[in-house]
Amino acid sequence: MKHSQHVIHAVTEKVIPVLEQAFEQAEKAYKAGMYSYTEWMNTQQELLNAQSGLIGAYQNAHLNNIEIERLTGTSLFAINKASNVPFNKTSNEK
């Protein structure tokens, strides 16, 4: 679960913003005739791949939560409420 949280955080905070900026710059360069269509599309594909990876990381996190709930027979919300830890709290531990 921590791996999924780490991936989500890294992709959301570091990877996607950089790729969005690169895509915007590539689009401007393409419109100015400095980039080919292929170069522009490669930049867009990198951004889409990162977004797809983010969706996959969220999916893995949810599937892990479901599996924990199935194995314990209780919801993670109830477990966290009993331990007085916020359900969506993320840890900075590595």
pLDDT by residue, tens only, the chain of 94 residues: 788 888 899 999 999 999 999 999 999 999 999 999 999 999 999 999 999 999 999 999 999 989 988 998 888 777 777 777 555 555 444 4
pTM above 0.85, yes or no: no
d(CA 10, CA 73): 31
- Amino acid identity of residue 83, one-letter, is S
Show the domain range for 65.
2-82
Specify if 88 maps to a domain.
no
Asked if the structure places residue 58 within a domain, the reply is: yes
Q: How many domains does the chain have?
A: 1
Rounded distance between C-alpha atoms, residue 19 and residue 44, angstroms: 8
pLDDT computed for residue 72 by the predictor:
87
